[in-house]
Chains A and B, each alone.
Chain A
Amino acid sequence: AQSVTQPDIHITVSEGASLELRCNYSYGATPYLFWYVQSPGQGLQLLLKYFSGDTLVQGIKGFEAEFKRSQSSFNLRKPSVHWSDAAEYFCAVGGWRDDKIIFGKGTRLHILP
C-alpha cells in the first residue's frame, strides 16, 4: 500500500541553523514526490517536486530535497532557516497512474530566535 511517513511530528531549530526534515515513502512503482508548506491559517503551498531526472531538486524559499531510491526517502533541507520558515511541512507521494497523492501527517517546524 502507498504511504508516507514523516517520523518527526515536531522539530525545533535555531534561526540561522540548518534544517533537514525526513520523509520516507512506500510506493510500488516510480514515485512522484512533493513537499508542501502550510503557514498558520493558510493553505498549502508547493515547495518542490520530483518526477524524474536529477535526484537533487531545488525549490522555492531556498529549500532543496534529495530523492534516494535505495532508502525510499525524500528529505527536505535548507542550509539556514529564517523565522518565517516556521510552519507545517507535508511530504506527499503519487504516481503516473494515480489520480491522487498521499500526504504524510506533517512535521511542525519551530524556530528559536
Chain B
Amino acid sequence: DTAVSQTPKYLVTQMGNDKSIKCEQNLGHDTMYWYKQDSKKFLKIMFSYNNKELIINETVPNRFSPKSPDKAHLNLHINSLELGDSAVYFCASSQRTSGGAKTQYFGPGTRLLVL
C-alpha cells in the first residue's frame, strides 16, 4: 500500500491554464505539506495543514491555493500557470502530536511542466 500518493505523476500544460494536484495519505497522520523542488533540487516548503487548518503559509504567489477536505487529503490548485511554476511538487505528511518537527513522509512527486 502506498503511504503518500499523488496524482497526477506528470502534468504538461500551457501557460495561463489552471491545474490541480491531489495528495492522499493513509498513514493516519494529522499534518500534510506541499513542497516545491526546483531544477537545482532545492526543496522549498509552501504550505502545511494540521487537521484541515492552515498552519504554514510561506511566501507563495496567491495563484497557489491549497485545500484540505480532511486530514488525509491535501490538494493544490494553481491558477494562471507561468513558466516559472515548472517544478516537481511533493506532498508529505507527519504526525504533529504534542509538538516537534516530526518525521515527514513524502509522496513520489508531481512533475509539472508549463509550456
Contact = CB atoms under 8 A, between A and B. Distances in A.
Interface of A: 32, 34, 36, 38, 42-46, 49, 51, 88, 90, 93-101, 103, 105-106, 108
B99 interface: yes
A99 B56 contact: yes
A34 B106 CA distance: 13
Interface of B: 4, 31, 33, 40-43, 45, 48, 50, 55-56, 90, 92, 96, 99-101, 103-109
Contacts of A46: 103-105
Nearest to B44: A103
A38 B42 CA distance: 12
Contacts, number: 60
Nearest to A105: B42
A110 to B, nearest CB: 14
